[in-house]
């Protein structure tokens, strides 16, 4: 099962991916996370990503495709994957189809999380993330423990992402509207898209997406 979680920055793709990953035993392939790892490691590639990420622009397609190629064919993703923040342009979606096709796979489902821009800004600027385990928080709606340590893993590395400030978020949203939204029409032609209100309770959203995944033929990993 190959699933794309689609939606604007801050829609909840990362949060839902982590829950679905645990439930269905599929890896989360997040190009944003992969790029942040390269930046943190201080590689040449990481410095290239930084040029784009720090101003909220999309990283050029070829760099993104090179980055994801080895993960796609890894053993971990042999049963499929949850794509989070990828594809972000129609050429990326086309390239993904070609790569999956070579492995006799295809995108089975595209879930679109819909959240309007004002709610997104509030969500993203209040977002905090644990650099050790990826657990997400929000300063008002789901605050990290008052001792500053991560409630999930105990690390003291709960921080605000550098690109989660208002100016960069507005650029990221513009890039989403101009370059990413057209992907929906691309997948709609194959009737793959299921949309839902991304402002609902987190548990409700997970339950709804899980139903769609199960209807598409994949059972939870524990069953
Ligand atoms: P994310 O963590 O998915 O919100 O991504 C953070 C930033 O990484 C984006 O604003 C882009 O600069 C870059 N990025 C992540 N994934 C992609 C992608 N598939 N295509 C182009 N740029 C990306």
Does residue 162 carry a pLDDT above 90? Answer: no
- Active-site position among 161, 170, 194, 208: 161
What pLDDT, on the 0 to 100 scale, is given for residue 223? Answer: 45
Beta strand 127-130 pairing with 2-6 = unpaired
Please identify, by atom number, the ligand 1 atom nearest to the C-alpha of residue 60: 21
Calculate mean pLDDT across residues 70-87.
Answer: 94
Tell me if the bond preceding 196 is cis, omega within 30° of 0.
no
Once rounded to an integer, what is the mean pLDDT over residues 37-58? 95
User: Are 174 and 58 a contacting pair, CB within 8 Å?
Assistant: no
Q: Which of 13, 19, 36, 128 is catalytic?
A: 13
What is the C-alpha to C-alpha distance for residues 103 and 42, in angstroms, rounded to an integer?
33
Spatial CB neighbours of 179, under 8 Å, sequence gap ≥ 6: 58, 88, 89
Active site residue 127: yes
Distance 168 CA to ligand 1 centre (A): 12
Query: Higher-confidence residue: 187 or 161?
Result: 187
Q: Which pLDDT score is estimated for 148?
A: 85
Of 88, 105, 123, 128, catalytic: 88
Q: Which residues contact 138 (CB under 8 A, 6 or more apart)?
A: 123, 126, 127, 128
Per-residue pLDDT, 53: 96
Confirm or reject: Cβ of 32 under 6 Å from ligand 1.
yes
Q: What confidence category does residue 180 fall into, taking pLDDT thresholds of 50, 70 and 90? A: very high
Give pLDDT, residue 118. Answer: 86
Ligand 1 mean position, distance from CA 46 (Å): 13
Q: How far is the CA of 223 from the centre of ligand 1 (A)?
A: 34
Closest atom of ligand 1 to 175 CA is 10
Local structure of 74: helix, strand or coil:
coil
Q: By the 8 A CB rule, do 45 and 38 touch?
A: yes
- Evaluate whether 82 touches 17 at the Cβ level (below 8 Å): yes
- As a three-state string, the secondary structure of 14-26 is HHHHHHHHHHHCC
Give the list of residues 6+ apart from residue 69 with CB closer than 8 angstroms, or none: 99
Probe ligand 1: pick from 88, 93, 173, 177, max atoms within 8 Å of CB? 88
What is the CB neighbour count within 10 angstroms for residue 8?
25
pLDDT in tens, 91-140: 999 999 999 999 999 999 999 999 998 899 999 999 999 989 889 999 99
**Quick one: pLDDT band at residue 172, thresholds 50, 70, 90?**
very high
Residue 222 has pLDDT above 80, yes or no: no
Average pLDDT over residues 44-56: 95
């Amino acid at each position: 099962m190959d699933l794309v979680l689609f939606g604007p920055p801050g829609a909840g793709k990362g949060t839902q991916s982590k829950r679905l990953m645990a439930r269905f035993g599929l890896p989360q392939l997040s190009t944003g996370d992969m790029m942040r790892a390269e930046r943190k490691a201080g590689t040449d590639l990481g410095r290239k990503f930084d040029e784009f990420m720090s101003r909220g622009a999309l990283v050029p397609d070829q760099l993104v495709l090179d980055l994801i190629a080895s993960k796609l064919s890894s053993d971990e993703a042999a049963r499929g994957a949850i794509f989070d923040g990828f594809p972000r342009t129609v050429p990326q979606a086309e390239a993904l189809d070609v790569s999956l096709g070579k492995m006799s796979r295809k995108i089975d489902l595209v879930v679109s999380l819909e959240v309007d821009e004002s709610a997104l800004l509030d969500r993203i600027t209040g977002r905090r993330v644990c650099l050790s385990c990826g657990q997400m928080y929000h300063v008002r709606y789901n605050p990290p423990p008052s001792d500053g340590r991560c409630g999930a893993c105990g690390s003291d590395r709960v921080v605000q992402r550098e690109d989660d400030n208002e100016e960069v978020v507005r650029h990221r949203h513009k890039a989403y509207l101009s370059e990413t939204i057209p992907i929906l029409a691309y997948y709609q032609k194959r009737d793959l898209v299921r949309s839902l209100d991304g402002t609902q309770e987190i548990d409700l959203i997970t339950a709804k997406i899980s139903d769609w995944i199960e209807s598409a033929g994949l059972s939870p990993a524990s069953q």
